[in-house]
Amino acid sequence: MTSGIVTATRKPLVPLTILDDSGNRHTLRVVLDTGFTGQLLLPERYIRRLGVTLDDHREGRPATGEFISIPAGRATIIWQGHRRTALVLQLGDEPLLGMEFLWNHRITIDAVTDGAVTIDPLGG
């Protein structure tokens, strides 16, 4: 199980541990974004700090509605005690965890300030 909290600005946050290019662990607080269909979106400052290699591009359509080319790469995540590779897109100003990453999990959010956020694997 992964646990987090809802902020006063109504954002469900959970911790996410990412390995940098040297294998060091960094724990970030990421926003669960059910409107983001990808895996992990990180702003440029996090990409630089973690040393994520961006060796690809993906087409995406952010909230602006127009299609853009988004720098992409892969990062190793520690998720619920296991290593997992995630597709990382460089965009925006806060880390977002999307539905592709959260697929096959139960997400429970108590939608109040300081409400509990829990993520449990479904096993599928």
The answer, yes or no, to whether residue 124 has pLDDT greater than 70, is no
Q: What is the pLDDT of residue 75?
A: 96
The token pair at 77 is 């995540």
Domain extent, residue 75, equals 2-121
Cβ-contact 10, 22 below 8 angstroms: no
Token pair belonging to 54: 């961006």
Cβ–Cβ under 8 Å, residues 17 and 30: no
Q: Tell me which amino acid residue 89 is.
A: L
Tokens of 105: 């999990």
pLDDT per residue as tens digits for the range 56-101? 999 887 777 788 899 999 999 999 999 999 999 999 999 999 999 9
> How many angstroms separate the CA atoms of 124 and 95, rounded?
26
**Could you tell me how far CA 17 lies from the centroid of its own chain?**
10
Return the biggest CA–CA distance within the chain: 40
Is the predicted pLDDT of residue 122 greater than 80, yes or no?
Answer: yes
Total domains in the chain come to 1
Q: What is the pTM of this model?
A: 0.91
Q: Which long-range contacts (CB under 8 A, 24 or more apart) does 66-71 make?
A: 71/47
What's the CATH code of the domain at 29? 2.40.70.10
Round to whole Å and give the CA distance between 16 and 61. Answer: 24
What integer pLDDT is reported at residue 76 of this predicted model?
Answer: 97
Tens of pLDDT along 2-47? 999 999 999 999 999 999 989 999 999 999 999 999 999 999 999 9
